[in-house]
Amino acid sequence: MTGIEPQEPHEPHEPKEPHDLTRLSINQETVKQWSLPELAAGCTAAGIGSVGLWRAPVQEYGVERAARLMRDSGLTVTSLCRGGFFTARDPELRARALDDNRAAIDEAAELATGTLVLVSGGLPAADRDIAAARERVADALAELAPYAAERGVRLALEPLHPMYASDRCVISTLGQALDIAERFPAEQVGVVVDTYHLWWDDLAPAHTARAGAGGRIAAFQLADWVTPLPEGVLLGRGQLGDGCIDLRGWHRRVDAAGYRGAVEVEIFNPALWARDGAEVLAEVAERYVRHAL
Amino acid sequence: MTGIEPQEPHEPHEPKEPHDLTRLSINQETVKQWSLPELAAGCTAAGIGSVGLWRAPVQEYGVERAARLMRDSGLTVTSLCRGGFFTARDPELRARALDDNRAAIDEAAELATGTLVLVSGGLPAADRDIAAARERVADALAELAPYAAERGVRLALEPLHPMYASDRCVISTLGQALDIAERFPAEQVGVVVDTYHLWWDDLAPAHTARAGAGGRIAAFQLADWVTPLPEGVLLGRGQLGDGCIDLRGWHRRVDAAGYRGAVEVEIFNPALWARDGAEVLAEVAERYVRHAL
């Protein structure tokens, strides 16, 4: 991948060297139209050495088989999405969630990724106590973190945009995620910095520095913010550069905080899924270089 | 306000005495199906003495005529929605926005409301610098606050939910709103506490106390949070009690912060607009007593 010009939104300039894709990781949801073998072949062909995987397609393909495919393709699995959904009050539902998360940890270990992304879960039906729900997330981490650590997996708590606070994730800001993560050793519980979820928050830069200083940035994910949001607000993430997020600024910010890991592009967008996967992948790489490097 | 027992969401009980609706104000968007005369007659019939108005229907009816109607009906106008949209970089657009806001201030004065609600505006096209956009909001307030103060109108900066940060309002939290409002005298610039926008924010309670201590709570608005959000996320507000917000807790919080003003119900919801206005108004009053008093 050469000849892609990095540029400021308003100040394009000529590149001097080929662009480095070594930190770029493709979350498989970005090219959801691809099977796992297609993903492996497509990334290899595009010179991309890392992927983020999701549990459902991995389970469908077979966890061991997926792990072998990634190994044989020379691909690094930068994260597994996702465990979590810890917020049930009902003891039976809660026990089931913990069991499911132990299985997710086992899967992450099998895939040789050190990072299991966790989405906390929303408020149970008729529950109006979001502070208590957040405490149940901390309680679940206390049960799971040692189990994960024994298997070489770090739990990566992901704050989701506040528009998901009731139905998907009661942890809405990086500050909230850190307040919980910091109760545990940094090698056991980290946080995810995802531009889509955090871009609007004036406190997020300071919390990124705090997360970096504590060695807690477990993953860094990119997607752009575009409107209007679709019904349900789940599948409206923008291709890099199509929205209003200063992606390059965020990349520099996590790097300045000491992060040296993968930069994972995770875009849920049916318009991308309707296109040829290789074309989408090439576009993502080009946009990454132009808007985020 | 006597005889209403605080109650949990799951334990409805019978009231023992009539309920005090004196602080209840109906924002006219909640019963958008009604003309201004219908609103005035409907509120009077229901024993509700205050309304929040919007500029467009007031202008359509005639500002002076609307002011007379409210006076003659014995109704207090608790707020006028809305000025703002200050974030343009283009000098001509910016000048036009300031002119429009001066007109809004004049309209508020004519309606004898001391509170003009301001929604900041989003990011201009191709602009990725949200911090700079927030500063332009502060710059606009500096130009408008003295003009408003001379006319007995306080500017009420409203933080909107972060899902509106790019296209409607770059001020997303009460903390951000206060950081700007506090640069001005409290009698000139206050903030709006709206449960729909702030419920998810663990820092909002502390900022509510801060706002109250500084005498800056200019308005308190209620709507409930329900999902799934509709496309565009504008018209998905829930009737009181239908969602996950602890409305009573928020009412107590603003009161504990020293607020003694109106409690304005502002629900944008096409399902309410499709019904008989008087029926909706009665339901709002009943829900207010049951969930927010």
Does B16 lie at the interface with A, CB-CB under 8 angstroms? no
Residue B12 scores a pLDDT above 70: no
**Residue A11 within a domain:** no
User: What is the predicted pLDDT for the residue at A3?
Assistant: 36
pLDDT digits (tens, 9 = 90+) for B160-204: 999 999 999 999 999 999 999 999 999 999 999 999 999 999 999
Those residues of chain A that have pLDDT short of 50 are 1-17
Chain A CB contacts of B244 below 8 Å:
123, 127-128, 130, 166
Residue B99, in any domain of the structure: yes
Report the pLDDT value the prediction gives residue A23, as an integer from 0 to 100.
97
Return all residues near A126 (Cβ < 8 A) that are at least 6 apart: B9, B10
Distance in angstroms (rounded) separating the CA atoms of residues A73 and B17: 74
Burial of A95 (0-12, 13-18, 19+ CB in 10 A): exposed
Joined tokens for residue B183: 């640069």
Above 50 in pLDDT, residue B275?
yes
Give a yes or no: residue B181 inside a domain: yes
Which pLDDT score is estimated for A13?
Answer: 46
ipTM for the whole complex? 0.92
Chain A residues touching residue B129 (CB < 8 angstroms): 246
Q: What tens digit of pLDDT does each residue of A11-33 get?
A: 444 444 457 899 999 999 999 99
Q: Does a structural domain hold residue A91? A: yes
Quick one: what percent of chain B has pLDDT higher than 90? 93
Distance between CA atoms of B40 and B30, rounded to whole angstroms? 13
CA torsion A263-B171-B235-A273 (nearest 10°) is -10
Give chain B's domain count.
1
CB < 8 Å to B128, chain A: 9, 244-246, 249
d(CA A59, CA B179): 48
Nearest CA in chain B to A170: B200
CA distance B225 to B118: 21
Q: How many angstroms separate the CA atoms of A114 and A37, rounded?
A: 22
Residue of B nearest to A176 (CA): B202
CB contact under 8 A, A244 and B10: no
Neighbours of B274 (CB within 10 A): 9
Chain B contact set for A246 (CB, 8 A) = 128-129
pLDDT digits (tens, 9 = 90+) for B199-222: 999 999 999 999 999 999 999 999
Q: Does A246 touch chain B (CB under 8 A)?
A: yes
Domain limits for position B78: 24-291
Structure tokens at B191: 């903030």
Determine the Cα–Cα distance for residues A103 and A82; give it in Å rounded to an integer.
11
The reported pTM is 0.93
In angstroms, rounded to a whole number, what is the distance separating the alpha carbons of residues A66 and A215?
Answer: 29
Domain containing residue A83: CATH number: 3.20.20.150
Predicted pLDDT of residue A282? 97
Name the pLDDT band for B18 (thresholds 50, 70, 90). Answer: low
Q: Is residue B103 part of a domain?
A: yes
Closest of B113, B182, B122 to residue B148, by C-alpha: B113
- Minimum Cα–Cα distance from B132: chain A residue: A202
pLDDT at site A10: 44
Q: Is some CB atom of chain A closer than 8 A to the CB atom of B123?
A: yes
Judged against a pLDDT cut of 90, whether residue B93 lies above it is answered with: yes
Do the chains contact at B128 and A244, CB–CB below 8 Å? yes
- B243 in a domain, yes or no? yes
Does B1 fall in a domain? no
CA torsion A211-A217-A222-A228 (nearest 10°) is -50
Helices and strands (H and E) in chain A: how many: 11, 10
Rg (CA), chain A: 18
Three-state secondary structure of B202-225:
CCHHHHHHHHHHCCCEEEEEECEE
d(CA A100, CA A103): 5
Q: Is residue B37 part of a domain?
A: yes
Residues B170 and B136: their CA atoms lie apart, in Å, by 10
Element (H, E) at A256: helix A247-256
pLDDT band at residue B19 under the 50/70/90 scheme: confident
